[in-house]
């Protein structure tokens, strides 16, 4: 497994700080869409470039077969997948890994806001080659 570059890793830490602020302010219990909007506001306040609901093409053996949307794509190098669930499941990590493969990016954060302490709801996912 190769680690992402220093800039992407720093960006991930900065996004985690923004997510902690959102969680500190709102707490658990809202829908995923509320956290997506709040995190978007917080990233904007911190001048972190991002795109919401970023469309990616899904390719199968060289043929485009559809599209998916990423919750957040931060500075074209970091995928943020947001959840508001009782517990993160293996399928959530698999989803993020699929997004990393489809975009050829190395790092993603899986953030579940439905936890008492956000640190327990964050999973850093590095795409291994």
Task: Print pLDDT tens along the chain (129 aa).
Answer: 578 999 999 999 999 999 999 999 999 999 999 999 999 999 999 999 999 999 999 999 999 999 999 999 999 999 999 999 999 999 999 999 999 999 999 999 999 999 999 999 999 999 986
The CATH number for 28's domain is 3.40.1350
Cβ contact 66:58 at 8 Å = yes
Q: How many domains would you assign to the chain?
A: 1
pLDDT of residue 1: 58
1 located within any domain? no
């Amino acid at each position: 497994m190769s680690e992402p570059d220093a800039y992407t890793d720093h960006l991930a830490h900065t996004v985690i700080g923004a997510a902690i602020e959102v969680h500190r302010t709102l707490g658990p219990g809202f829908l995923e869409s509320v956290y997506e909007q709040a995190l978007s506001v917080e990233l904007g306040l911190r001048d972190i470039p991002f795109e919401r609901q970023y469309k990616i093409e899904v390719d199968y053996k060289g043929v485009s077969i559809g599209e998916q949307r990423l919750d957040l794509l931060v500075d074209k190098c970091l995928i943020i997948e947001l959840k508001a669930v009782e517990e993160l499941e293996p399928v959530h990590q698999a989803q993020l890994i699929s997004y990393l493969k489809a975009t050829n990016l190395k790092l993603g954060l899986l953030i579940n806001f439905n936890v008492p302490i956000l640190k327990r709801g964050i999973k850093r996912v590095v795409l291994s080659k």
